[in-house]
Amino acid sequence: MIELNDYQSIILGAGPAGCFTALKLSEKGIKTALIEEHSEIGSPVHCGECLSEFAVKNLKIELPEKVISKNVKGIKVIFPNGKEFFTHENGYVLEKDLFEKWIAEKAEKKGTEIFLNTRVNGIEKKEKGIELKTNKHSYTADFLIDGSGVSQVSSRLLGLNKPSETVIGMQYLMEEIPNEGWLEFYLWPDLAPEGYLWIIPKKDGKANVGLTTTNKNQAKKLLDKFIEEKKLGNKIVKSFGGLIPHSGPLEKTFDERILLIGDAAGFTSPMFEGGSQLAMKSAEFASVIGFEAVHNNNYSKEFFSAYQRMWKKEFPPYEKLLKAKKEFYSLSSNELNKFSEDLPYNLSSLTKKEKAIYGLKLALKHPHLMPKIKMYDSFKYSLSKFYGW
Ligand SMILES: Cc1cc2nc3c(=O)[nH]c(=O)nc-3n(C[C@H](O)[C@H](O)[C@H](O)COP(=O)(O)OP(=O)(O)OC[C@H]3O[C@@H](n4cnc5c(N)ncnc54)[C@H](O)[C@@H]3O)c2cc1C
């Protein structure tokens, strides 16, 4: 008698990556289970909730009104001296919990079986499948997609990869915050060492006010100081956040019978740490390879290596990006202000000529900063077309 696994695919973690993979695989007729440790999909939110219009088109999704909190015009970047620069790119601030629930419901309608309150605590490869052990039952499948976010469960349990380096992201949902429809990103290293601060507008005058920094112990203190300096008041509805991988993709994003997606694979945009578009695009790629694996009855490491080639071809050049970020983080407030002196205001469409003139001016005025000019790649790769948000 042939022993069948419970499912063809099993997905660990119901974040945007896991839910989107479940939808894509179920649409293709693959028998899929989605396992989530929390009692509700999408909660607690650990995200600034921004998603660009480019991402929505790139992922071919049509957002229902109920998941959109606010339409935004793009990103306003504010240097320590208060100078403002813009990337004009339309996008959304979501109700992220509703967004994730919406995808999960669509997946369920297509056949995904969802198991909540179910925490994976063991993974075992079998001769003809893979077994997930949880606080409730064990589940077997032909292959596993790990979308467990920054917990990076399969890397940890199977020793596949060293864990990502992380920054902390912490924010308050606040009321009565004025805004003009921009995502405001503050490059203020004194208050956000190796990170930045943000005011992300939501509907009804609410906003996510937060920061990322490597200074994990001081994050709350620094954020409170920012709120005081910006005179944002004290109408805090709730605080939330989490850790974000920021050292680029893990070395192995596939193994025999396993694919890693989203934060579980280290796919965040290194500069401003946006991860949802990357999470969902990697989900799409994993569903393509997963479907082909079922079709060919081949779950070997070699077969699954196609996934890594696929994302490498599409995702931004991480090596360049990480170098740019390192340069960026090494700058003091004073140096950042010097960089801002002759910078054109519209960062999203700098022409070659504008860049050359800017470089020349910087070389003449502040020659010692020229070796750090690579830091501008940080801005370039924060655009939505490079999966920035
Ligand atoms: C403060 C903050 C602000 C951010 N702002 C933005 C932003 O504005 N835009 C943007 O694009 N990105 C942003 N990000 C990053 C973004 O939230 C992540 O990149 C994205 O959520 C990754 O999706 P994911 O599905 O890979 O992982 P997650 O969303 O983390 O989902 C992983 C899921 O796996 C579950 N899980 C983990 N371990 C287990 C287990 N053992 N058993 C069962 N289930 C498990 C978790 O409960 C979770 O539901 C932000 C992150 C933070 C922390």
Which residue has tokens 């015009």? 73
In the reported structure, the alpha carbon of residue 357 is separated from the centroid of ligand 1 by a whole-number distance in angstroms of 41
pTM of the model: 0.95
In the reported structure, the alpha carbon of residue 46 is separated from the centroid of ligand 1 by a whole-number distance in angstroms of 6
Q: Collapsing DSSP states into helix, strand and coil, what is residue 211? A: strand
The C-alpha atoms of residue 84 and residue 306 are separated, in whole angstroms, by: 43
Which residue has tokens 């200074």? 215
Per-residue pLDDT of the chain (389 residues; tens, 9 = 90+): 456 899 999 999 999 999 999 999 999 999 999 999 999 999 999 999 999 999 999 999 999 999 999 999 999 999 999 999 999 999 999 999 999 999 999 999 999 999 999 999 999 999 999 999 999 999 999 999 999 999 999 999 999 999 999 999 999 999 999 999 999 999 999 999 999 999 999 999 999 999 999 999 999 999 999 999 999 999 999 999 999 999 999 999 999 999 999 999 999 997 788 999 999 999 999 999 999 999 999 999 999 999 999 999 999 999 988 988 888 988 999 999 999 998 888 887 788 888 889 889 999 999 999 888 888 888 888 899 999 99
The structure tokens listed for 45 are 């939110």
For ligand 1, say whether the CB of 279 is within 6 Å of any of its atoms.
yes
Closest of 267, 86, 68 to residue 161, by C-alpha: 267
For ligand 1, say whether the CB of 326 is within 6 Å of any of its atoms.
no
Contacts with 117 (C-beta within 8 Å, 6 or more apart), sequence order = 36, 37, 38, 39, 135, 136
For ligand 1, say whether the CB of 56 is within 6 Å of any of its atoms.
no
Q: Are strands 84-94 and 68-78 parallel, antiparallel or unpaired?
A: antiparallel
Q: Collapsing DSSP states into helix, strand and coil, what is residue 230? A: coil
Give me the domains of the chain, ranges plus CATH numbers. 7-49+96-163+249-315 (3.50.50.60), 166-245 (3.30.9.10), 319-384 (no CATH)
Residue nearest to atom 29 of ligand 1 (CA): 15
Tally of CA atoms within 13 A in the half-sphere of 140 that contains its CB? 9
